[in-house]
Amino acid sequence: MSFEPKLTGKILDPIHGIIRLTEIEIAFIDNPLFQRLRNIKQNTFLYKVFPSAMHSRFEHSLGVMHLSYEILNNMGMNSHRYKKKYKDDLIYTGITKLPDSVIQELRLAALLHDIGHGPMSHQFDSFMCSKEDFKKFFGDDYPQILELIKDGGNVEHEHISLLFIKAIFDSLKDEYKKEINIDNVLAIIEKDFKSDEVCLDIKTKAETLSILPLLTSIISSCPIDADRMDYLLRDSYFSGVKCGIYDHNRLFMSMVPVQCDGAIYLAYKESGLDSIVEFINSRANLFGQVYYHKTNRSFSCMLSKVCSLAKEASQDTSLFKFLPPSGTEKKSYLEQISDFYKKNSDDYFLNAHLVKAIEGNDVAEKVINDIVHRKPWRKVYESKLFLENENITDVINRDIVKQLELTISEMIERQGIDGTRFAIDIMTDNAFKDISKTEIKLLKKQLDGKYSITAFKDSNEQLSRYQSIKCFIRIFVHHSVSGCFDGDLVSKIENWKGDFLGKNELIKSISD
């Protein structure tokens, strides 16, 4: 590829070695809105369990960019190899001839995909404003972003990412702006982003193909993408738990670009399923041993409890709660939100802004104090459900989970235990989460030696044996009431849970 000479900068990374950078990437990285990611931990409370897990969204973003480029390069090489070997019209060999601008747009999309994460990462989602508030404060300035927000729903960190990317791009030198189409970058991050300026079509002798599905899948797709590939290796390394290791080179060898239905897609060869299974198992093990660790989940539940207590007290916990009152600032709302994000590290937000937001709520303040001083609530109940023989389109029924959580809470409160002193934590995961959204394909070899294309989500025959669905149910309580959870109460919960799950469908299929 002719893109290599543009990689004039470099950063040394403990996971990937040397990560090379272009000038425009360095310009984005040097912006304070990106630099702030150094102060946002990749996993909010994991460091309270695994002391070395202090790594941030900053280095993760660099890793995703690096891996995205590696995937693209390997697909280019694989396409020529497989085309020559099988003489198959399904393989797209034009990857090695992509314009430099498209490669740069992919790399920037990978680099910037997490730039909208607030302090406490996913925990900050509780403080995001509604679509109506976004419309109120920004008006018609960002119609494409407003359209992405669900009616009646809240703004998500992906929407803030698009907002910040546009803000940084507008601040760049003109010479950098000429290198890329910023709307292409936004579309690669959010494939539903609509703009007349998006242009990611590749012309061949026979037809014009959209390359957007391929580029989007490189960064975000089920069950494997550059985002997952980096955080598994990085979180495993920094937590010291070696169960997130997998052979990324084997995965690279299985990836090929295919063309069908007027577009170019990322596909995996059926012969590479063993490598995919290794990756899926690594992810499942890391979830079980690291992300779902009881102490990590205890602190997360405690923070969620603070948010719910604030809402019950009718306090405004949305993002705009933290901004200056209307009319007191000369800065635009974009500038104010940018200032808030730049100012608030995880620690500053938890110790300063959040305390201010719940001021006067004594119970919430005590919970925050327990978090800061590492006093996790005690786990008094745990149940793990591992469901087998399911299809790849099967997912946890969220309505059942909510009903399960509500009923257990009511049972505990009937024992005279204050609802502010305990938390129900139900964590679920499945190997093929979001399979319905993925656009990747599976290449199946036929008896005549040629390949056929099957959508990954329609490959249940090949993949169902690897489906793994689990549900962890835990109860955490403040030390002052832990003695109330005697054997009788735990037995009642266990017996009721068994009867409940026996009469209700915990699993539903997205194909229904």
Q: pLDDT, tens digit, for every residue of 420-470?
A: 999 999 999 988 988 988 999 999 888 877 788 999 989 998 899 889 898
> Greater confidence, 503 or 143?
143
Integer CA distances (angstroms), 384 to 103, 138, 224, 290, 292, in order: 44, 45, 25, 15, 11
> Greater confidence, 356 or 103?
103
Which residue among 376, 398, 416 closes a domain? 376
Do residue 364 and residue 502 come from a single domain?
Answer: no
Mapping DSSP to helix (H, G, I), strand (E, B) and coil, where does residue 395 land?
A: strand
314 pLDDT tier (thresholds 50, 70, 90) = low
Do residue 371 and residue 432 come from a single domain?
Answer: no
- What is the total count of domains within the chain? 2
Do residue 322 and residue 418 come from a single domain?
Answer: no
Mean pLDDT of 145-163: 94
Torsion of CA 348, 353, 359, 363, to 10 degrees: -50
> Which stretches does DSSP call E strand in 162-279?
201-203, 208-210, 255-260, 263-269
- End-to-end CA gap in the chain: 45
Indicate the pTM of the whole model.
0.94
Encode pLDDT of 489-507 as tens digits.
Answer: 888 888 888 777 776 678 8
Encode pLDDT of 375-414 as tens digits.
Answer: 999 999 999 888 877 899 998 889 989 999 999 999 999 8
68 φ/ψ sector (left φ>0, alpha ψ -120 to 50, else beta): alpha
Burial of 399 (0-12, 13-18, 19+ CB in 10 A): exposed
Do residue 367 and residue 471 come from a single domain?
Answer: no
Predicted pLDDT at 510: 66
CA distance 512 to 397: 12
Predicted pLDDT at 324: 67
Q: Which residue segment(s) compose the domain that 116 sits in?
A: 4-376
Compute how many other C-beta atoms are within 10 angstroms of the C-beta atom of residue 243. Answer: 18
Predicted pLDDT at 325: 61
Encode pLDDT of 23-72 as tens digits.
Answer: 999 999 999 999 999 999 999 999 999 999 999 999 999 999 999 999 99
85 pLDDT tier (thresholds 50, 70, 90) = confident
Compute how many other C-beta atoms are within 10 angstroms of the C-beta atom of residue 443. Answer: 23
Do residue 89 and residue 234 come from a single domain?
Answer: yes
Which residue among 376, 393, 420 closes a domain? 376
Whether 326 shows a pLDDT value over 60: the answer reads no
Both tokens assigned to 165: 């990317």
Mean pLDDT of 304-328: 69
Predicted pLDDT at 61: 98
Do residue 420 and residue 322 come from a single domain?
Answer: no
Do residue 88 and residue 136 come from a single domain?
Answer: yes
Of the candidate ranges 104-108, 132-136, 228-232, the one whose mean pLDDT is the lowest: 132-136
Mean of the per-residue pLDDT values of the chain:
90
Q: Could you tell me which residues are beta bridge partners of residue 352?
A: none
CB 72 within 8 A of CB 103: yes
- Provide the percentage of residues in the chain whose pLDDT is more than 70: 96
CA distance 274 to 390: 19
Listed residue (272, 295, 284, 277) closest to 243, CA to CA? 284
Which residue among 349, 376, 403 closes a domain? 376
Do residue 268 and residue 315 come from a single domain?
Answer: yes
CB 148 within 8 A of CB 98: no
Encode pLDDT of 180-199 as tens digits.
Answer: 999 999 999 999 999 999 99
Do residue 466 and residue 343 come from a single domain?
Answer: no
Do residue 44 and residue 99 come from a single domain?
Answer: yes
8-state DSSP, 160: H
CATH code for the domain of 160:
1.10.3210.10
Do residue 240 and residue 308 come from a single domain?
Answer: yes
Encode pLDDT of 351-385 as tens digits.
Answer: 888 887 788 888 899 999 999 999 999 999 999 88
Do residue 428 and residue 498 come from a single domain?
Answer: yes
